[in-house]
A and B are shown apart, each in its own frame.
Chain A
């Protein structure tokens, strides 16, 4: 036999062994196809770097044909989705703070009259700029959208207003992050991403590691209840999560100078619930997976949509509705609203109560599934 055919024989022996082992591990095999499909769908359909249809509140103090033209122009531009009318400026501020709307458009009383007189009245668009990427395109286009809409209406006696500058003055307030500093949005968000990635992964291997090392049989032969096992297994990592939080918050403050407008304790409460939700989910994965490899794959399968659909990398409101619904299930989505809300907007517990409830519900659901999945026997 020549050297070449020896090599070929050995390669084919290894190749065939790998092929058989690959087929045996069904979940890994399935993941090799499921993950690319998930990526294709998420990147291809869900993600939109030019977000449109952003929810907008309108605070209008008069109804005239010109005002209606302006509002219709915003709507047909597809950037603004006029979802509600408000009469109270304080209410519109609160809507913005809670993140229910991305913009508030205010047109004061007497706007039309002043416009016709050529006095260039002010039109105000307030934007939630905590995520600069979400707001910037819509703001940048607003002037052009409104001006070109009016050109059609300003005919006859009003034609004289057409040439020259726009017959009104557009004021934009980029609130919460006026300079549009990307880090202000990314760094608080990273807190959630880092906690998700590390904590889900570490508890996902909690039970599968015992199974793979042969120590599970021993553990199960001892009188330990499922909940005792879970609490005992995840508690050390609450401390890990706390350390990570501290490091990131210190870095946010001193390396990136991210503002911290709100109170610390709603954020800390959010961190605790979020950490528990992730640890419980990881433990659930570890009761489902039969090996550490599978546990890692499940973690990745969860991490990918968390990263893409939570509003961390891409504007949440820019995604199609189905993607937003998936995003609403993920604890990271709610945590991002809490951490950005508290740090950048000074949001309070009351402003954010929905997010706290959503994360708590997720954590409880994960615990219930883990307890249902947990096997006290080797069956």
Chain B
């Protein structure tokens, strides 16, 4: 058996004459938590769907949990859990009925006990007879995660599981992901949140259907070659416009009362900050944000500057 949970090469998906995914390679070891990043429409969902057999790849090949993605979709479906971007359980079934459906479909025994356990873990025992449609976004997400992990999948594919969920629920969610990971489950999770990306062992970044970069967060920031200065002081925001105009400054962003000034070279930024501000400001070098790193990488690759702004 391969040590890779996902091992796909040259995945291409075309819809008509539109290429959604354009030659993506993913070689993901078992047991890790990977973040799948990229702007909307960059091909993340399409790639995930090809990996779990929901879409047929136009070109390319590979395996998921050792099963061929083109020919063995049924086996893949048995041992993966796929949580869709939009809540896709049944709003007109109760929480318990949704879980019972999944439990029956995967022939879990003893049925009642397995459902009871899941409800208990979820903290939904008291509300088990409520229809799923009545749940808030955060609870729906917890229900969906419980439902796709009930059959003890070896691989979890989570498509933007935390979009529209409050911070506390997001934190609980990630605690659960890491708990599952400790149990040996491999997790590929797509997200737009950089703090979530930083919780991953490894990041894959897609842009326009192509793999822009991948690696550990620190490596990606290093690869971007970006330098960021944090500029503080009274009414520091008034300098933003002038700073943005200067050579050597790639990006100026607001961070509370401070400005984050990023560029490719330390000296150029120092000169720019000195030229554009006055004696009232203080500044120091800080770690560049992952956001800025991706934007810099995209710009270098000739990608769309606005895509992640």
- Are A and B a genuine interacting pair, yes or no? yes
Enumerate chain A interface residues (CB-CB to B < 8 A).
Answer: 213-218, 220-225, 376-379
Q: Which 4 A-B pairs have the closest CB atoms?
A: A218-B88, A223-B77, A221-B82, A214-B86
- Would A217 and B54 count as touching, CB distance under 8 A? yes
B219 to chain A, nearest CB (A): 32
Contact with A along B80-120 (1 / 0, CB 8 A): 10101011111100000000001001100000000000000
B247 interface hit (Cβ, 8 Å):
no
Q: Roughly how many angstroms separate A77 CA and B73 CA in the complex, as a whole number?
A: 67
- Would B49 and A222 count as touching, CB distance under 8 A? no
Chain B, range 50-82, C-beta contacts under 8 Å to A: 52-56, 73-74, 77-78, 80, 82
The chain B residue with its CB closest to the CB of A220 is B54
- Would B78 and A223 count as touching, CB distance under 8 A? yes
Across the A-B interface, how many residue pairs have beta carbons closer than 8 Å?
46
Q: Which of B55, B74, B84 contacts A218 (CB 8 A)?
A: B84
The chain A residue with its CB closest to the CB of B50 is A377
- Would B53 and A214 count as touching, CB distance under 8 A? no
Q: Roughly how many angstroms separate A379 CA and B70 CA in the complex, as a whole number?
A: 13
Given contacts A222-B106, A379-B55, 17 further A-B contacts (CB under 8 A): A214-B87, A214-B88, A215-B90, A218-B84, A218-B88, A221-B54, A221-B82, A221-B84, A222-B105, A223-B78, A223-B106, A377-B55, A377-B56, A378-B49, A378-B54, A378-B55, A379-B56
Chain B, range 135-157, C-beta contacts under 8 Å to A: none
Q: Which of B56, B77, B90, B91 contacts A222 (CB 8 A)?
A: B77
Enumerate chain B residues within 8 angstroms of A378, measured Cβ to Cβ.
Answer: 49, 54-55
Enumerate chain B interface residues (CB-CB to A < 8 A).
Answer: 49, 52-56, 73-74, 77-78, 80, 82, 84, 86-91, 102, 105-106
The chain B residue with its CB closest to the CB of A222 is B105
Enumerate chain B residues within 8 angstroms of A222, measured Cβ to Cβ.
Answer: 77, 102, 105-106
Q: Which of A213, A225, A377 contacts B91 (CB 8 A)?
A: A213
- Would A215 and B89 count as touching, CB distance under 8 A? yes
- Would B88 and A215 count as touching, CB distance under 8 A? yes
Q: Roughly how many angstroms separate A221 CA and B88 CA in the complex, as a whole number?
A: 11
Residue among A215, A218, A225, A377 having the largest count of chain B Cβ atoms under 10 Å: A218
Enumerate chain B residues within 8 angstroms of A220, measured Cβ to Cβ.
Answer: 54
Enumerate chain A residues within 8 angstroms of B80, measured Cβ to Cβ.
Answer: 221
Q: Roughly how many angstroms separate A30 CA and B171 CA in the complex, as a whole number?
A: 51
- Would B49 and A218 count as touching, CB distance under 8 A? no
Ordered by A's residue number, 13 sampled pairs between the chains whose C-beta atoms are within 8 Å are A214-B86, A214-B88, A215-B88, A218-B88, A221-B82, A222-B102, A222-B105, A222-B106, A223-B74, A223-B106, A376-B73, A377-B54, A378-B55
Enumerate chain A residues within 8 angstroms of B105, measured Cβ to Cβ.
Answer: 222-224
A227 to chain B, nearest CB (A): 13
Q: Roughly how many angstroms separate A377 CA and B78 CA in the complex, as a whole number?
A: 15
A208 to chain B, nearest CB (A): 15
Enumerate chain A residues within 8 angstroms of B74, measured Cβ to Cβ.
Answer: 223, 225
Enumerate chain B residues within 8 angstroms of A376, measured Cβ to Cβ.
Answer: 73
B106 to chain A, nearest CB (A): 8
The chain A residue with its CB closest to the CB of B157 is A221
The chain A residue with its CB closest to the CB of B79 is A223
B174 to chain A, nearest CB (A): 22
Enumerate chain A residues within 8 angstroms of B54, measured Cβ to Cβ.
Answer: 217, 220-221, 377-378
Contacts A378-B54, A379-B55 given; indicate if A214 touches B84 (C-beta within 8 A). Answer: yes
Q: Roughly how many angstroms separate A265 CA and B185 CA in the complex, as a whole number?
A: 57
Q: Roughly how many angstroms separate A92 CA and B52 CA in the complex, as a whole number?
A: 65
Q: Roughly how many angstroms separate A214 CA and B88 CA in the complex, as a whole number?
A: 5
A357 to chain B, nearest CB (A): 35
The chain A residue with its CB closest to the CB of B53 is A377
Q: Roughly how many angstroms separate A379 CA and B56 CA in the complex, as a whole number?
A: 7
Enumerate chain A residues within 8 angstroms of B90, measured Cβ to Cβ.
Answer: 213, 215
Enumerate chain B residues within 8 angstroms of A221, measured Cβ to Cβ.
Answer: 52, 54, 77, 80, 82, 84
B253 to chain A, nearest CB (A): 35
B173 to chain A, nearest CB (A): 19
B75 to chain A, nearest CB (A): 8
Residue among B87, B88, B91 having the largest count of chain A Cβ atoms under 10 Å: B88
A148 to chain B, nearest CB (A): 70
Enumerate chain A residues within 8 angstroms of B106, measured Cβ to Cβ.
Answer: 222-223
- Would A217 and B77 count as touching, CB distance under 8 A? no
Enumerate chain B residues within 8 angstroms of A218, measured Cβ to Cβ.
Answer: 84, 88-89
Q: Roughly how many angstroms separate A247 CA and B6 CA in the complex, as a whole number?
A: 57
The chain A residue with its CB closest to the CB of B102 is A222
Q: Roughly how many angstroms separate A376 CA and B73 CA in the complex, as a whole number?
A: 10
A220 to chain B, nearest CB (A): 6
Enumerate chain A residues within 8 angstroms of B56, measured Cβ to Cβ.
Answer: 377, 379
Enumerate chain A residues within 8 angstroms of B52, measured Cβ to Cβ.
Answer: 221
B77 to chain A, nearest CB (A): 4
Enumerate chain A residues within 8 angstroms of B102, measured Cβ to Cβ.
Answer: 222
Q: Roughly how many angstroms separate A377 CA and B91 CA in the complex, as a whole number?
A: 23
B70 to chain A, nearest CB (A): 11
